[in-house]
Chains A and B, each alone.
Chain A
Amino acid sequence: MSSASQDTRLESQGPVLSGPDPVSTVRVDAPAKSDWNNPRLARNLFLWPALIVVLILAIFPLIASLVLALSKVSLVKGGFKIDFVGLTNFRTLFLGSERTHVLGQAGTPTLVGWLVFLGGTALLLVAFVRTVRSRKIRPLGLIGRAVGGLLLVLLLWSVATTVLGSGGRPGTLMVTIVYAFSGTLLTYLLGLGLAVLTTQRLRGQRFFRIVFLVPLMITPVGVAYMFRMLTDTEKGPITPLWRAAGLSDFTLLGDPWGARLAVIISDVWQWTPFMFIVLLAALEGRDLETEEAATVDGASKARIFLNITMPALIPVSATVILIRLIEAFKIIDLPNVLTNGGPGTATESLTLQSFISWRGFDLGSSAAIAYTLLVVVTMVGIGYATFIIRRTHSMV
C-alpha cells in the first residue's frame, strides 16, 4: 500500500491520534493549512515554551543550588567567589560540627523504643520475605526494596534512640519527619471526619463548610502569630483561662515537646481544611447506589462506611496524602514565627535550618541542607507512590 492511499484511509476514519504516519495525512489532505495543523509544529509551539519555563524556574535553580551545595561562597572585593569544596558541606552536616543538629543525639532506647524498633523491623522483614517469595519482582526492584527497607530500619532506629531514647533528642531531620507524618495523619483524620459530618443532613451545613475552610485562607505567618498569642500565658487573649487553670507559670513553648506539639497543632489547624475540601468533593461525587443497597440489606452505618465508603475514597486519599506529605516536609513559617526554632533547636525543621544558614550568608550549608531535604522528600514520594498509590489503584 502506498502512503498516499494509507493516508486517505486514515483521513476517512476521522481524527487520528496514532498510526503509521499521521503527519503525512495532514500534509496530503490539507496542504493549505499545513503550517498550523502540523502536529510537529504544535508540539514545538506548546511544548517548548513550557519546557523552557520549567528549565528556567526549576532545573536551572536545582543545578545552581547543587553547585552551591558543593561550594564555599566567600566575599571578595567588589563581589563574591565560589570555591568548589566537594562534599565538605555535607560532611559537616552528617559527620562534622552539625551532625547532632541534623541527626540528633542518640540515647538508650526505652522499652517503647525497643518495641517500636523491633516490631517495625520484623514487619519490614516479613514484607520483604513475602516480596521475594512472590517471585513477581525484578532484580532491580528487589535491590530498590532492599535499600528502601534498610533506610526504614535506620529510620526506626533513629526514632527509637532520639525520639524514644533516654537522654536522646531528635535533630532537624527527625523533627521534620515528625511534623510531616503526624501533621499529615491528623489533618487527614480530622478532614475526613469534618467532610463526613458536613455530608450529613445537618442544620447550618453550608455555613460550617465555609467556616471549616477559613484557616486555609490565612497566611501561615498569621496562623503562627495567632498561636503564639494563644500560647502566651502572660498577655495572650486567653491568659485569664490559663490563670484560672493555674497555668500562669507554665508555657507550652518552653518545653521541647510542648513547643513541637504547638507547631503540630497550628499546622493541623491550618491544613485540615485542605483535606476537608478534597475529601468532601470525593464523598459527594461517589456512587451512592451501593450504599443504598447495603442499607436496604440491613448493613450498619459503620460497616457501610468502612466497607463501602472508605474504599471508594482510597484513590483520592492516597493522592491528597502524598500532596500534603510533600508540603509538610517543607514546613518553616510556623516554627520560625512561633518559636524561632526553639527552645534550643527543638522545633527547628530542615527548611528552617537551611533558612538560618542562608540568613548568615552560609550559602553552601544552606544549599546542602536543602538538597538533603530534596533527597528525603523524593525518597518518601517514590516509596509512597510505589507502595501505596500503586496498591490503592489496584484495589479499586
Chain B
Amino acid sequence: MTTFELLEYGAWGLSAVFGLWMLFDMIKTDRSYSEDLLTSSREGEIEDKLDGAR
C-alpha cells in the first residue's frame, strides 16, 4: 500500500470517527434527557450565566 493510499484511508477513517461520534452522542443525549427539556429554548431569552462552562 502506498503512502497516498494510506492517507486516503486515514481520511475516510477519521471522517467515520467524527461522524459516528456525533451520531452516538446525539442518540445518547436524546435518551438521557426529556424532549421537553431539549426543545425548551425560546427566542429572546438571555442566558448570561455561564456556570463556568467556558
On whether the two chains bind one another, the answer is no
Q: Which residues of A contact B (CB under 8 A)?
A: none
